[in-house]
Amino acid sequence: MSQQNNNKHWIPLESNPQVLSHYLHKLGVDESVSIVDVLSPELLDLVPRPVYAVILLYPLKEKTAKESKLTVPDQVYFCKQTISNACGTVALVHAVSNNMHRLVCKRDSFFDKFHRSTLHLSPDERATCLEQSAELDALHAEFAQEGQSQAPLENEEIDLHFVTFICQQERLVLLDGRLEQPIVYGSCTEENLLQEATNVIQQEFMAKDPNEVRFNILAVVKNDSVS
C-alpha cells in the first residue's frame, strides 16, 4: 500500500465493502452507488449490475503488472500515488473520476470539486492536489479507523495494495498510482467489465502466486436498494 515519493503517511483503508461504500458516499458519490465483494470468479452473476469499476487488493511482492504496449485511451483519468498507504483512496479516485459521465456526485462535494479542478492536470499534478487536500486528509483518517480489524499505524509497512480496473473506449484499463501510466489489457465493454477484469486478475495476479490467499476483489456497482 505504500509509495515512497513523499514523507506523508496515511493509515491504510480496510478492504471492507461497507466501510468503503460509506467513504465513497462521504466523498460525494450518490448513495445509488455502492461497493460489494466479488466472492468468487465463479459467482460473478451474483454481483449487481451495472459494474462501474473493479478494485483489486493484492499482496505486493513484486511489480505484477507489466508496462502496456497498447495505446492508453485519451479519456482515461490517471492520478499518481505519492502518499504512503493512500492506495485505497487513489483506487476510489480512479473508479469515480473515470465514470463521472455515469455517476451522480453531489455538487461541491470532494469528488465534484476535485474532478473539476484536476481534469486538465497531469497525473503528478493531481497527486499534489491530493497531498494538499485537508478535506481528504480528514475523511481518509476517519474511515481508516473503521472496519473489523484494528487499524495499523501510519508508518507501519503494509504489503497489500489496491488497484482499479475500468472500461474506457472499449479497452480494459488497469490504474495503479505506483506506475508511470495506466496499463491496457485489451478489448472490453461496460457490460463485460467484471468478467474481463476477473480474467486478468486470475491470469496476471492469482496464477503467479497460487499459494497466496490475500486477494480480494471488489466491484463498484449500482445499489438496487436505492431508487
Q: Which residues are catalytic?
A: 87, 161
What does R_g of the chain's alpha carbons equal in angstroms?
16
What SS3 class is residue 127? helix
What SS3 class is residue 87? helix
In this structure, are residues 10 and 153 in contact, taking their beta carbons and an 8 Å threshold?
Answer: no
What distance in Å separates the CA atoms of residue 19 and residue 57, rounded to the nearest whole number? 15
Exposed e or buried b per residue across 125-160, where buried means at least 16 C-beta atoms within 10 angstroms of its C-beta: ebbbebeeeeebeebbeebbeeeeeebeeeeeebeb
Beta bridge partners of 33: 222
Cell numbers 466479488 correspond to 38
What distance in Å separates the CA atoms of residue 93 and residue 140, rounded to the nearest whole number? 12
CA 51 to chain CA centroid, nearest Å:
13
One-letter amino acid for residue 114 of the chain: F
Grid cell in block for residue 123: 497525473
